[in-house]
Amino acid sequence: MAFKIKAADQKRIDAAFGELTAQRNTLEESVRVFNEAFAVARAKLQPDVDAYNEKVDVARGMLDDLHRALEDEFDDRSANWQNGDKGIATKEWIDSINALAEELTEAALDVFPESLEFEDVVGDDPAEDYNELDKEAPGAE
């Protein structure tokens, strides 16, 4: 008995791969439509991201200016005051203003892909691999 795919199995598998290919084509069209909508949404989102980032820069600048001014005022105090309880508490408070400035984060769209790549969604076409598959084992006579 030869090792090969029987005609009835071949017919069922061909039908299944035909359906798979049709659904793959439908999915590919859906990814194309998604990418078009995504590009439109991204274009609408970009000006808002830019405006937000401008506000972040302004707020960060204000906090940086305040931090520098308070640091200068702190540095003008005596070493005894700076190393005392009030000085240490004040320094921690001044540092918290700096930390707040550093925590301000700009919005970024680069965390999103420009578009979906169809092959990244579903991988290579399995029908191609199936079509290249020998339907009979080597030397199966």
| Half-sphere exposure of residue 104: CA atoms within 13 angstroms, side-chain side | 18
pLDDT at 96: 95
User: Cα–Cα distance between 39 and 111 in angstroms, integer?
Assistant: 14
Average confidence (pLDDT) per 10 residues, the chain, 141 residues: 86 94 95 94 90 93 96 96 95 95 84 82 86 79 60
- What the block records as the tokens of 61 is 């600048």
Q: How many other C-beta atoms lie within 10 A of the C-beta of residue 127?
A: 15
Give domain limits for the chain: 7-108
Q: Indicate the pTM of the whole model.
A: 0.62
| pLDDT, position 65 | 97
